[in-house]
Amino acid sequence: MKVREVLGDWPPGQWAAEDGGKGLAPDASELRLLWFSTPDADGWFRLTAVDSTAASWSTYCRTTDGQWRALDRALAASLRQPLELVGDVELDPPPEPRR
């Protein structure tokens, strides 16, 4: 399974300027993953990306507890990568249950 399959609409289309500016958000295909938070109790987490001018943009995504560990590893391995490529990163399969 890939990041884009877990998060659905990838790359996210709605971005807000980190500096509080009101400029138009860039096309998500122009952004590189900079940072992400851990999910809250409802599964929402924040993604921050940078554009070609080094301006920061943020959005929110949602996941489930069962997917977070694999998603966390995939996103951490993809920092500074274009969002289009991040979407194609394969998630580690969940560990086999112990018998």
SS (H, E, C) the chain: CEHHHHHCCCCCCCCEECCCCCCCCCCHHHCEEEEECCCCCCCEEEEEEECCCCCEEEEEEECCHHHHHHHHHHHHHCCCCEHHHHHCCECCCCCCCCC
Percent of the chain scoring above 90 in pLDDT: 57
Question: Does pLDDT of 19 surpass 80?
Answer: no
Are 98 and 56 a contacting pair, CB within 8 Å?
no
* Residue entry with tokens 């993604």: 47
pLDDT at residue 23, as a whole number: 64
pTM, 2 dp: 0.84
Which amino acid is present at 68?
W
Are 49 and 74 a contacting pair, CB within 8 Å?
no
